[in-house]
Amino acid sequence: MHIQKVFKAKSLPAFCSSFISKSITTSTTISAPLKLSLALVCALSIIACKPTKDVTDNAAENNSKIKEHSQSQVLTPERVQTIEALAGVPMQQLVSFDPQEIKQGGDTGISITSSESYSKPSSNITASRKGSFFIGNAFFRQPWVIAPASTDSRDGLGALFNVAACQSCHVKDGRGHAPMNADDDADSLLIRLAMPATTDGQRQQLKDSLIEKVAHPMYGGQLQDRGIQGVPAEARIAVQWTDKPISFADGHIETLRAPTFNLTNPGYGAFDEELMVSPRVALPMIGLGLLEQIPDADIKKQAASNHKNSNDIKGKFNWVMDPKTGKVGLGRFGWKAGQTKLIAQNQSAFNEDMGLTSNIRPHESCMPTQTACVNAITGADEQGNGKPAVEVNDEVAKFVEFYTRNLAVPHRRNADDKLVLAGKKRFYDMGCQSCHTPRYQLPKTADDHLEQHGQVIYPYTDLLLHDMGDDLADRTIAGKLPPKNLQVEFLANSYEWRTPALWGIGLAQTVDPQATFLHDGRARTLMEAVLWHGGEAKKQQQKVLMLDKQGRAELSAFLQSL
């Protein structure tokens, strides 16, 4: 049944309630002077041999001042200024207990700590708008089917695809996980592919953000590990894990696991050695409408404030083609910030992950040489022979967009707890906020994003790309590190990742016990995720390694409270 027809046949409330009940029942989701004075105090006390009580007290006090001061040096003055300007409050308020921060998603947030924590609509949504959320939910949750089918509002899956439903990867609206071992199917992880540019024309197009990347001539830009009957899958994804112990200064050892991704059973010929392979687990769906409303200028300002100095942290924004408008703009969604708007991200998911066409992405994701894929029956017909022109029509696209804009961010838990607050101070002292920007004030814009208008939010991200070092970088299929001047997703290279939002992250494994962290799901705990930080964040990772047992417990408690 096509949704347009549904509207004619049923009233919207009746349609909504049938969808809602269905989705519920099928629910599975020192400054120099200070230094000098301290040196003097020490020198004097050595001369005196037996320092007076006053002198030792002063020394202790000065010592702690020295410490505090050197910690604030982690961030350049420009960066501190930018963070404060975006937040609208001084750094001191951000570091200490801020009652407003309990509602990290502003008035859209919800107070729920169960496996449903990521699945609720914005709490300030009106009853009349809730219907659209639940219709969108149904399209997100329910599997699409192979065409032709009796249910033609959800047919056209494939011919090449990864899984049949958004929810299969975004488990309970949350993140995905990496496969456990070589036999485990990569069900909530996908592999993006890119080739080096070979012509000046391609290089220029990449420079101007006119193309996302140079796709592989046989395999395209994303590996689809499933095909409908008669259409060979592109390959099988098999992962292998290698233990990587890492020691803290106090001798404590954490054992990280490093993945090797192998693509076996290639369906369309051997892979080229220089093929760049980028494994990615699904990102959580919460708060995306809020991230979408952060003004471009706020993100650009951060890139500028990072660049002004010799600080190790740079941060650049991605500049990408918006398939809806045909214009280039700021990228903010995806692990490499390759998508401008939710609608574009969603339609590319429909297209590349599920093999579904829409007005923004009107062509099946088959390479011209994949003839079985090209010739497969689809749920649409561009010539209009009694079938809709695309598989996901604009109405369905709008419902899904509304849904993805309105998944509420759960409130913080234990935000005023002593351990959590000590961990929060450590987070700031170590300079994690250099990239994980705490707070933004959203504007009121002329659009209909009513739930998001004017909210004060605490996402802990700058939405910028950072070089996170060799260990986190994508490799070629031959296991080599690609050169840094090769663009794999608009302006991003293999080493660069967008700082992910941290809100709600403490509930990730409450929502799905299998959930894992970082772009390829290699981190099983939040501490593991932090320990993998390298490149621009190497200094922060080194500071984490200096933490003692108490310090580690504090940092973990803070991250868990987000």
| Residue numbers at the binding site for ligand HEC (CB under 6 A) | 140, 162-163, 166, 168-170, 188, 190, 280-283, 288, 313, 333-336, 338, 342, 345-346, 349-350, 353-354, 400, 404, 427, 430-432, 434-436, 466, 468, 472, 497, 499-500, 502, 505, 517-519, 526, 529-530, 533, 536-537, 540, 544, 559
Q: Do 241 and 229 meet the contact criterion of CB atoms below 8 Å apart?
A: no
Alpha carbon distance 147, 238 (integer Å): 29
Closest CB to ligand HEC among residues 206, 559: 559
Cα dihedral sign for 446, 451, 455, 459?
Answer: negative
Q: Do 468 and 494 meet the contact criterion of CB atoms below 8 Å apart?
A: no
Q: How many CB atoms lie within 10 A of CB 408?
A: 29
CB of 38 to ligand HEC, least distance (A): 28
CB of 297 to ligand HEC, least distance (A): 20
Closest CB to ligand HEC among residues 375, 550: 550
Straight-line distance from the first to the last Cα atom of the chain, in angstroms, rounded to the nearest whole number: 42
Q: Do 172 and 118 meet the contact criterion of CB atoms below 8 Å apart?
A: yes
Closest CB to ligand HEC among residues 288, 376: 288
CB of 482 to ligand HEC, least distance (A): 15
CB of 348 to ligand HEC, least distance (A): 8
Alpha carbon distance 114, 283 (integer Å): 19
Alpha carbon distance 88, 348 (integer Å): 35
**Helix residue spans in 145-235 (DSSP H):** 166-169, 200-207
CB of 140 to ligand HEC, least distance (A): 6
CB of 426 to ligand HEC, least distance (A): 8
Closest CB to ligand HEC among residues 123, 494: 494
Closest CB to ligand HEC among residues 38, 136: 136
Closest CB to ligand HEC among residues 140, 458: 140
Q: What would the two tokens of residue 518 be? A: 């970082």
Closest CA to 106 of 415, 457, 407: 457
Alpha carbon distance 230, 139 (integer Å): 26
Closest CB to ligand HEC among residues 376, 526: 526
Cα dihedral sign for 17, 18, 21, 24?
Answer: negative
CB of 232 to ligand HEC, least distance (A): 18
Q: What would the two tokens of residue 14 be? A: 């009746």
